[in-house]
Amino acid sequence: MDPVNRKPSLATVWLGGCSGCHMSFLDLDERLIELAPLVEVKASPLTDYKDFPEVDITLVEGAVANRDHLEHIRTIRKRSKVLVSFGDCAVTGNVTGMRNAFSVPDCINRSYRDNSAVVVGIPSGNSVVPELLERAHPVHEVVDVDYYLPGCPPDGDAIHQLLVDLLNGRAPSSDGRRFG
Amino acid sequence: MSVVTLEIDGKVCTGVSGETVFDVAWNNGVKIPRLCHIGGLPNIGACRLCLVEVEGQKKLLPACITPVQEGMVVRTWSEKLIAHRRLIVELLFAERNHVCSVCVVNRNCELQDLAVELGLDHIRLRYQFPKLVADTSHERFGLDHNRCVLCTRCVRVCDEVEGAHTWDVSRRGALSQIIADLGEPWGESDTCTSCGKCVQVCPTGALFEKGKAVSEMRKDRGFLKYIVTAREKGQWIR
């Protein structure tokens, strides 16, 4: 937050996850209306940004699973004052990381050949479809993370508590926190 | 049997000679963390979560296999102990594929509870993601090696309480694995009586009842105490 007393800015990002954490964010229900005047939302999965903005707080959902995610999270880290691993895929790899016991070609074949009635093509990584990384990483394996909010998904109350704490310049409380 | 007086976390506690530091602490309201220990089974001091500091001892001692002594001064919580316990739990999470969100005991799991109790919100170690299988050959139960922490509660309850000794541990180190008989599929075991005691004492979702979906399974720990103490307490009803 700069000295001109502007509102803190917030971004939410969706990497290798199911968007469930974002759905849970919407479960803040009427509390979203209370929070809305307190923050400026600069980026979200629904924002058509070309370049990730400079923000105070960024919540990252999902594991770092492909080349795009890797590039994106590095930019995000540079431009975020506070970076939060948001939900189990970001914190542990979770379901996105379940492929890690297998090789990338095995996973691709399983999805696009073995389990598909019509095989139209195998994505190999190009300008449209990003190449999968050798393994899906928890966010903190790739960049520094300031705070963690576990849960699949974290419930609305936990998200609300974290945001209120961060907006008041406090370290998030871990009361009632679950692991996994 | 003589009464022993000792100090645990600054509190004067009494126990009986032959009792362990762990039991006396719990009886006096000091809840030392544990994973391999479960009341009613012999203690093996394997998980190291119950390590405590004893005055005059250089080494940390596992409370579950340390007998109480007159005048002992024990500390069960310190920065050092918390750091060790955290690392143990992190190692367990990193070693196998504990994907809580898709587990039958999610939110009813002793490993998860330990993580919360020790204030873990992420694992600092690199996850190993070993390729492990689940044995679902038994008609009623399943064994998912991905979630096993090798506490050997199942091995001990099967041997010491049920008397079947179906379970044991094969191989060494990170390759260690629970096996039925000589490595048979569980469903083909000649010795298994299908009593399900192993399933109930398992601290995680490694041993589970079939037909339960995510978070649906609750383990019954009370039965073991009953089996072990009911005769002496005159609770047998037939």
Q: What is the pLDDT along chain B (238 residues), one digit of tens a residue?
A: 799 999 999 999 999 999 999 999 999 999 999 999 999 999 999 999 999 999 999 999 999 999 999 999 999 999 999 999 999 999 999 999 999 999 999 999 999 999 999 999 999 999 999 999 999 999 999 999 999 999 999 999 999 999 999 999 999 998 999 999 999 999 999 999 999 999 999 999 999 999 999 999 999 888 888 888 888 888 877 6
Q: Is the minimum CB–CB distance between A152 and chain B shorter than 8 Å?
A: yes
Q: Are residues B16 and B107 in the same domain?
A: no
With respect to residue B238, please indicate whether it lies within any of the assigned structural domains.
no
With respect to residue B107, please indicate whether it lies within any of the assigned structural domains.
yes
DSSP line for B121-147: SS--SPP------EE--SSSEEEEGGG
Q: Are residues B108 and B48 in the same domain?
A: no
Q: Which of residues 95-114 of B touch A (CB under 8 A)?
A: 97-103, 106-107, 109, 112
With respect to residue B207, please indicate whether it lies within any of the assigned structural domains.
yes
Q: Is the minimum CB–CB distance between A17 and chain B shorter than 8 Å?
A: no
For the domain that residue B170 is a member of, what is the CATH number?
A: 3.30.70.20
Residues 6+ apart with CB under 8 A from A72: A13, A15, A52
Q: Write out chain A residues lying below 8 Å of B103, CB-based.
A: 180
pLDDT at res. B183? 96
Question: Does residue A153 have a cis bond before it (omega within 30 degrees)?
Answer: yes
Model's pTM, two decimal places? 0.93
Q: Are residues B123 and B168 in the same domain?
A: yes
Q: Are residues B122 and B199 in the same domain?
A: yes
The closest CB to that of B101, out of A94, A100, A101, belongs to A94
**How many structural domains comprise chain B?**
2
CA B61 vs CA B18, B31, B65: distances in Å: 16, 16, 8
Q: What is the DSSP letter of A53?
A: P
Q: How far B114 CA sits from the closest chain A CA (Å)?
A: 9
Q: What is the mean pLDDT of each run of 10 residues along chain A (180 residues)?
A: 74 97 96 95 92 97 97 98 98 97 93 86 80 96 97 94 94 83
B142-189 per-position pLDDT tens digit: 999 999 999 999 999 999 999 999 999 999 998 999 999 999 999 999
Q: Are residues B111 and B192 in the same domain?
A: yes
Q: Are residues B111 and B229 in the same domain?
A: yes
Asked if residue B110 lies in contact with residue B136, where contact means CB atoms within 8 angstroms, the answer is: no
A–B interface: beta-carbon pairs under 8 A: 68
For the domain that residue B57 is a member of, what is the CATH number?
A: 3.10.20.740
Q: Are residues B151 and B57 in the same domain?
A: no
B59-75 per-position pLDDT tens digit: 999 999 999 999 999 99
Helices (H), A36-131: 67-79, 88-92, 104-109
Residue at a domain's end among B77, B112, B137: B77
The closest CB to that of A179, out of B97, B121, B132, belongs to B121
Q: Are residues B119 and B209 in the same domain?
A: yes
Q: Are residues B193 and B130 in the same domain?
A: yes
With respect to residue B82, please indicate whether it lies within any of the assigned structural domains.
no
| Backbone conformation region of residue A172, classed left if phi is above 0, alpha if psi is from -120 to 50, else beta | beta
Q: Are residues B30 and B65 in the same domain?
A: yes
Q: How far B49 CA sits from the closest chain A CA (Å)?
A: 18
| Backbone conformation region of residue A142, classed left if phi is above 0, alpha if psi is from -120 to 50, else beta | alpha
CA B238 to centroid of chain Cα atoms: 31
Asked if residue B97 lies in contact with residue A101, where contact means CB atoms within 8 angstroms, the answer is: yes
Name which of B101, B125, B144 to mutate to probe chain A: the one with the most chain A Cβ atoms within 10 A of its Cβ. B101
Q: Are residues B106 and B49 in the same domain?
A: no
Q: Are residues B19 and B108 in the same domain?
A: no
With respect to residue B84, please indicate whether it lies within any of the assigned structural domains.
no
Residue at a domain's end among B77, B112, B132: B77
Structural domain including B135 reads 102-233
